């Protein structure tokens, strides 16, 4: 079974994808992760991707697809997390899978209202020293803005600032809405209310992918 998880930043796609992949024995493919890995390991594709990144350009779709192809298990069984993001990427992914006699079986859209996303992301604080992650409302440190583990002052990442989050949501909407239609027309899109508690979302997710 090959699944695609769509949804705005902060919808919890990555968290749920990791857990589901582990439970069902699927491979979790996050394009950000495989890109970083290929660059770090200086693979031929990683070196090519780094050239674009160093120039501040987007890594072309063909290169992303080639990177995915490298890590795809021969028999499939993958969760694509946050990819594809555009119709062109979806079509390229379809072509690549088709060559292998596979297809995207289900697409899960993690539906979350903007205000919930803004609250989740803008409240996040990270420790610049040990990498621990907190949330000022849902998972606050014992001492205000100080890391429980190492005592370092916590920081808010630039891309978690409210105005940046709202901008990211705008970009997501422009890019992804046509994609939602694309998969709806294929009859494989499932909408999931991802504003609920993490455990409730996971139980619902297991239900929708197994029916």
Q: What is the 3-state secondary structure (H, E, C) of 114-172?
A: HHHHHHHHHCEEECCCCCCEEECCCECCCECCECCCCCCECECCHHHCHHHHHHHHHHH
Write down the pTM of the prediction: 0.87
Residues of the chain with pLDDT under 70: none
Architecture category of domain 2-112+167-210 in CATH: 3-Layer(aba) Sandwich (3.40)
Tens of pLDDT, residues 70-110: 999 988 999 999 899 899 999 999 999 999 999 999 999 99
Number of Cβ within a 10 Å radius of residue 79:
25
pLDDT at 25: 94
Q: How far apart are CA 93 and CA 64, in angstroms?
A: 10
Tens of pLDDT, residues 117-129: 999 999 999 999 9
Q: Which residues are catalytic?
A: 13, 85, 124, 157, 168
| Biggest CA pair distance of the chain | 55
Give the domain ranges of the chain: 2-112+167-210
């Amino acid at each position: 079974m090959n699944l695609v998880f769509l949804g705005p930043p902060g919808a919890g796609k990555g968290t749920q994808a990791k857990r589901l992949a582990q439970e069902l024995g699927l491979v979790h493919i996050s394009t950000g992760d495989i890109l970083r890995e290929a660059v770090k390991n200086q693979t031929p594709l990683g070196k090519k991707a780094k050239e674009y990144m160093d120039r501040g350009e987007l890594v072309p779709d063909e290169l992303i697809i080639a990177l995915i192809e490298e890590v795809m298990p021969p028999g499939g069984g993958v969760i694509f997390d946050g990819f594809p993001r555009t119709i062109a990427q979806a079509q390229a992914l379809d072509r690549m899978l088709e060559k292998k006699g596979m297809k995207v079986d289900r697409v899960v859209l993690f539906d979350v209202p903007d205000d919930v996303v803004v609250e989740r992301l803008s409240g996040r604080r990270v420790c610049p020293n040990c990498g621990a992650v907190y949330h000022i409302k849902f998972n606050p440190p014992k001492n205000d803005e100080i890391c429980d583990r190492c005592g370092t002052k916590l920081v808010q990442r630039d891309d978690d600032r409210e105005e940046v989050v709202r901008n990211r949501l705008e970009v997501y909407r422009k890019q992804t809405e046509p994609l939602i239609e694309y998969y709806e027309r294929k009859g494989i899109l499932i909408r999931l209310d991802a504003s609920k508690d993490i455990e409730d979302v996971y139980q619902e997710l297991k239900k929708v992918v197994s029916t």
